[in-house]
Amino acid sequence: MKEIFKDILAIDGVSGVLLFSRQGRVVFQEMVLPLSENPEQRDWKSLTTVIKNVTEADFIYENGRIYIRNSAAGHLLVLMELFTSVAMVRLSCDMIMPALNKQAHGSKGIRSFFKW
């Protein structure tokens, strides 16, 4: 899964990527800069409950930004510095969505050879 997120992590100013399941479990995490606390030790269920119907959100706070994107695989959080190019992050997320959705749905057997 790290290969899917390499382009996002390569964007200047991106601090890390977290992917949560719909139940609030950390499915994937990769940090460029270490966090003060291990994300797997936090209870993310309340956050995933609040953002379950959110397609896309961008939160700005004092020292940085959080970009949230909903996918079939779960909720994607991109942690970044305040002046990171959100357009680049959005574009990179658009490009990885098919891979995330494919991974979430798995193979459909012989049906995967045909487009419906």
Residue 83 belongs to some domain of the structure:
yes
* pLDDT over threshold 50, residue 20: yes
pLDDT exceeds 50 at position 39: yes
Taking the C-alpha atoms of residue 116 and residue 43, their distance in angstroms, rounded to an integer, is 39
When divided into structural domains, the chain yields a total of 1
Nearest one of 33, 93, 88 to 68, comparing CA atoms? 93
Distance (Å, whole) CA 80 – CA 89: 9
Give the side-chain half-sphere CA count within 13 A for 79.
14
Backbone torsions φ then ψ of 8, nearest 5 degrees: -65, -45
Closest to 89 (Cα-Cα) out of 100, 102, 99, 80: 80
Q: Considering the domain boundaries, does residue 106 fall inside one?
A: no
* 102 domain residue, yes or no: no
**What CATH number did the domain enclosing 75 receive?**
3.30.450.30
Q: Is 95 inside a domain boundary?
A: no
pLDDT number for residue 94? 94
- pTM, entire model: 0.80
- pLDDT band, very low/low/confident/very high, at 36 (cuts 50, 70, 90): low
In a domain, 116, yes or no: no
